[in-house]
């Protein structure tokens, strides 16, 4: 189900990885805040259409478009489609990502290459398009991780990729001086998504839930609220920052 009718004054958000998990929560929150939302997905068209259907059922405007974030031609086409359907792009939320957990000594380097293709190259490609296409008053939001500070074992490859994401984000914020575009990263702590829960025992999940002082896992909606703040009018003075949304972890 797709609804592409949008008033000329409506702001437009493009969310990569918008079909499930945190990306879906962000897509739904931004739509509830009045954005027309382009939901990008790499695979799983059914999940993307479910996200669009939920947005439409709530009275919002959304469109699902397939595109590999690490493929510059597909991302250029994604931004083209957003501009064709809605007239431009005001907010880009880059929520697409990949995780591979392993001790550094044991990691299959093919898994490392796949992770870095999505998390580093993908972030760079999306950031390039955002830098070229975002309208004045716009925002780019990328995703890092609290693991950069927590330094959990088995997260070496993932944390390394997210360190690169933070560098790209903070440098781009400085490069866009004078454009009236904010660039920030959100670094979630343990958040109850399929990506996080996959492969963990109930005991591991319980231990991680007790790590923040608030003693619970975050929810996708918790993270979506932080993104909505940065992307909205109340977050315009936040620029070139990493916001650690983690319930009080270091």
Tens digit of each residue's pLDDT (9 = 90 or more) over 216-232:
999 999 999 999 999 99
Q: Report how far residue 109's alpha carbon sits from residue 116's, in angstroms, rounded to the nearest whole number.
A: 10
| 155 has catalytic annotation | no
Judge whether residue 6 has pLDDT over 60: no
pTM, two decimals, is 0.94
- Given CA atoms 28, 227, 81, 96 in this order, what sign does their dihedral have? negative
pLDDT of residue 7: 54
Average pLDDT of span 185-214: 88
- Residue tagged active-site, from 35, 86, 158, 196: 158
**Residue 97: count of CB within 10 angstroms of its CB:** 25
Domain ranges of the chain: 12-191+220-245
Q: How far is CA 99 from CA 49, 56, 197, 198, 199, in A?
A: 24, 30, 11, 10, 11
State phi, psi for 52 to the nearest 5 degrees: -65, -40
Q: How far is CA 172 from CA 86, 131, 204, 207, 228, in A?
A: 25, 8, 36, 36, 20
CATH class of 12-191+220-245: alpha beta
Average pLDDT of span 48-69: 97
Which residues, in sequence order, are CB contacts of 26 under 8 Å at separation 6+? Answer: 15, 18, 93, 95, 220, 223, 224, 227, 228
Average pLDDT of span 123-145: 98
Residue 14: which of 74, 72, 64 has the closest Cα? Answer: 64
Q: What percent of the chain has pLDDT over 90?
A: 86
Could you please report the per-residue DSSP string of 103-136? -GGG--HHHHHHHHIIIIIHHHHHHHHHHHHPPT
Judge whether residue 1 has pLDDT over 60: no
């Amino acid at each position: 189900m797709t609804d592409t009718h949008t008033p000329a004054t409506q702001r437009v958000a493009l969310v990569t990885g918008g079909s499930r998990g945190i990306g879906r929560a962000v897509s739904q929150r931004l739509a509830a805040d009045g954005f027309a939302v382009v939901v990008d997905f790499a695979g799983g068209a059914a999940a993307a259409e479910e996200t669009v259907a939920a947005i439409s059922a709530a009275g919002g405007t959304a469109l699902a478009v397939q595109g590999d974030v690490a493929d510059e031609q597909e991302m250029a086409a994604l931004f083209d489609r957003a501009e064709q359907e809605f007239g431009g792009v005001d907010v880009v939320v880059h929520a697409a990502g990949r995780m591979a957990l392993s001790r550094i000594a044991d990691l299959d380097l093919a898994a490392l290459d796949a992770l870095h293709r999505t998390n580093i190259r993908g972030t760079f490609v999306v950031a390039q398009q955002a830098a070229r296409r975002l309208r004045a008053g716009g925002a780019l939001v990328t995703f890092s991780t609290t693991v950069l500070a927590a330094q959990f074992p088995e997260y070496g490859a993932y944390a390394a990729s997210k360190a690169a994401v933070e560098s790209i984000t903070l440098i781009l914020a400085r490069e866009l001086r004078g454009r009236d575009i904010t660039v920030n990263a959100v670094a979630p702590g343990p958040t109850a998504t399929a990506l996080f829960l996959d492969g963990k025992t109930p005991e591991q999940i319980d231990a991680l839930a007790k790590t923040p002082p608030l003693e619970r896992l975050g929810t996708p909606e918790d993270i979506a609220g932080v993104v909505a703040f940065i992307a909205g009018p109340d977050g315009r003075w936040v620029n070139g920052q990493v916001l650690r949304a983690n319930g009080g972890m270091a």
